[in-house]
Amino acid sequence: MTSLPQAQFATLAIGATAQRIGISATELFNRLKRYGLVHNLLFDCYDTLHAESIDGVIWNIQEALRNWEMKEGGKR
C-alpha cells in the first residue's frame, strides 16, 4: 500500500522531471506507468530516492525511462 508521503514524493518527482524535459506531467506519468516505473521506481525505491537531491531524483527517472524505452524501441 502506498503511503501519503510516497504519493506526494511521486507527484513532486514526476512534476519536476516533466518540467525538466519539457513535457506535461500527465505524459510523463503515462510513459512511466507503461513500464511499471511509477510503482517499481518511485514507490519501491522511495526510501533511497527521497533522500537524494531533486536533481538526483530527476536523473534517476530520466535514466530509467530512457533505458526502458530504448529496450522497447520506443521514444528516446
pLDDT tens readout for residues 26-72: 999 999 999 999 999 999 999 999 999 999 999 999 999 999 999 98
Instruction: Give whole-number Cα distances, 74 to 7, 31, 47, in Å.
Output: 27, 10, 29
C-alpha cell at 62: 530520466
User: What pLDDT shows up at residue 42?
Assistant: 97
pLDDT at 66: 96
pLDDT confidence of residue 75: 53
3-state class percentages of the chain: helix first, strand second, coil last, to nearest 5: 75, 0, 25
Q: State residue 46's pLDDT score.
A: 96
Inter-residue contact 64 to 37 (CB < 8 Å): yes
3-state SS assignment for residue 45: coil
Q: What is the pLDDT of residue 72?
A: 85
Q: What is the pTM of this model?
A: 0.90
Helix and strand numbers (H, E) in the chain are 5, 0
